[in-house]
Amino acid sequence: MSTTAPTRDGEPLAPPRGTVIPGEPALHALLHDELDALSADARTRLGDEAVALVPKVLEYAMVRAWHERANITTRQEAHDFLLEQVHHGAARALSRRAAAHRFGSAGGGSGDAHAAHAAADASEGAIWAEVERIIHGEENSAKAHALAAQATRHDAAGHVASIAKGRSWRMPLALAAATVAVIATGMYFLDRAGDAGAILHALAAPDARRVESPRGQMANVSLDDGTTAHLAPETNLIIPKLFGDKLRAVKLVGTASFTVTRHAANPFEVHAGPATFVATGTKFTIRAWSEDSTVLLQVHQGTVEVRLGEQVASVGAGEARVISTTTIAKATSDEAMEAGAWLEQRLVVNGRPLGWVLPQLKRWYGVDIKVPERELLGRPVTMNVALDSTRAAIGAVERSAGVEFTYVGQVMSFRTPKR
């Protein structure tokens, strides 16, 4: 697998900044600060009938933040990441709840009783206690696996006798059991690589590789199966360590166009937002920015299958779909044009508020323009400009939104035009 090395003006990019979650106290503080906003968002997405699942969704989001803490460098990134995980967690929770009812757990009443108990424990303290339990359980499991691996290496080196000498028989048995568990887990994973649970586990694993395109720049990624991905700026592509013939799945946050190599046995999967996109030998584009409430799919060649909980939709060449947490709908021509124009080196905006356009200018042109007059942020913007001309983009915003570009001190800004 190879990637283009991100540079700016010919110089390597600076190393990443420090994480805002250096340890568990910082994660707990983040939960305290974000609890109200995350709970409200989770309740909205789950609905009244599934509101009891809010604590589990929040626990999922916090544990995912812990796993990704090395890549979360600002509080804003932390906030955006947690909201994204709440969206994913709510979709997963609703899907599992529907499956449980379908297979009869609702009839037994145990699922409802558990949900009622969870609803009673929706406090910060209860959520944090469960997050700690999960984190520590994972760490203990990782230590046991490492210990087992270490014992296996010593066995191979012929040191079993000296290690065991003078020690209780209980430790060798424990190590042997742990070693068998590690081997069995590995065999199960390789045999069930196509299973959804195994794929999600691989994408969330600490050894998964993250490729990130910087602001204002695109990147090309060549995967080991011959598939290529063209990344828009500020896009993250997560690739599991075991990516290959048995495991052809990636996770996308941002926008990318994929040209997929056909594989007879295993299709190629992209996990983006609440949905999974499955393809064999095709070309398609997915837009899944963390700040957007929907994901957009465009199929250029072949067919892509969209999976959203229990819903499945087949999308053919020339078609586009908008996916929310609950629905798969046909995209309008304006939505499709907005999402795919970057492949033609254009930025297209159709009637979006100025507040939505500002991050796009920052992402595609690398310019951070402020709007001191908050009332201007709602003005609609329509534009179709080249990605290689910052001047043209700024001029288009001025004309469409009826604003004026200026400097306030050293800060680039849009303001009401002076008469």
Residue bearing the bigger pLDDT, 164 or 205? 205
H-helix segments, 11-74 = 24-46, 54-67
Same domain? For 307 and 355 the reply is no
Is there a domain that residue 187 lies in? no
Report how far residue 8's alpha carbon sits from residue 299's, in angstroms, rounded to the nearest whole number.
32
Q: How far apart are the C-alpha atoms of 403 and 27, rounded to whole Å?
A: 41
Closest CA to 208 of 248, 239, 244, 164: 239
Q: Choose one of 336, 353, 374: the last residue of a domain.
A: 336
324/239 same-domain check:
yes
Domain of 367, CATH number, reads 3.55.50.30
Q: Is the pLDDT of residue 54 over 50?
A: yes
Is 196 a member of any domain?
no
* pLDDT at residue number 46: 85
- 327 and 274 share one domain: yes
Q: Kindly report which listed range (68-72, 111-115, 386-390, 400-404) carries the lowest average pLDDT score.
A: 111-115
- Are residues 36 and 73 both part of a single domain? yes
Residues 8, 11, 12, 17, CA torsion sign: negative
- Give pLDDT, residue 20: 87
Closest listed residue to residue 35, CA positions, set 114, 133, 130, 128: 128
- pLDDT exceeds cutoff 60 at 196: yes
10 pLDDT higher than 70: no
Q: 233 with 309, same domain? A: yes
Same domain, 300 and 375: no
End-of-domain residue from the set 336, 364, 382: 336
Kindly state the percentage of the chain with pLDDT values over 90.
Answer: 47
pLDDT band for position 418 (cuts 50, 70, 90): confident
Residue 90 is predicted with a pLDDT of: 81
The residue among 357 and 157 whose pLDDT is bigger is: 357
Does residue 355 share a domain with residue 251?
no
**What is the reported pLDDT for 264?**
62
| CA–CA distance, 243 with 193 (Å, rounded to integer) | 10
203 vs 159 pLDDT, higher one: 203
Is 235:4 a contact under the CB 8 Å cutoff?
no
Q: What's the pLDDT tens digit per position in 271-305?
A: 999 999 999 889 999 999 988 889 999 999 999 99
| Domain boundary, last residue among 122, 137, 162 | 122
| CA–CA gap between residue 283 and residue 225 (Å, rounded) | 15
DSSP 8-state assignment for residue 122 = -
Average pLDDT value for the chain: 80
Structural domains of the chain, count: 3
| pLDDT beyond 60 at 417 | yes
pLDDT of the residue at 246 = 78
Note whether 349 and 324 are same-domain residues.
no
Residue, of 133 and 392, whose pLDDT is higher? 392
Does residue 115 sit in the same domain as residue 228?
no
Residues 281, 374 within the same domain: no
Which range is most confident: 63-77, 165-179, 378-392?
Answer: 378-392
Strand-pairing partners, residue 408, are 411
> Residues 212, 332: one domain?
yes
Is the pLDDT at 387 greater than 50? The verdict is yes
Residue 181 located in a structural domain: no
- Return the half-sphere exposure (C-beta side, CA atoms, 13 A cut-off) of residue 211: 26
**Mean per-residue pLDDT for 7-18?**
47
β partners of residue 220: 230
**Mean pLDDT value of segment 51-61:** 90
Q: Are residues 242 and 360 in the same domain?
A: no
Residue 17 domain flag: no
pLDDT in tens, 145-193: 455 445 444 444 433 333 333 333 334 444 444 444 444 444 444 444 4
173 domain residue, yes or no: no
Q: Confirm whether 175 is domain-assigned.
A: no
Which of 194, 290, 201 minimizes the C-alpha distance to 245? 194
299 within a domain of the structure (yes/no): yes
Structural domain for 65, as ranges = 24-122
In a domain, 163, yes or no: no
CATH number for the domain that contains residue 298: 2.60.120.1440
Range of lowest pLDDT (120-134, 209-223, 310-324): 120-134
Highest mean pLDDT among 6-15, 98-107, 112-121, 210-219: 210-219
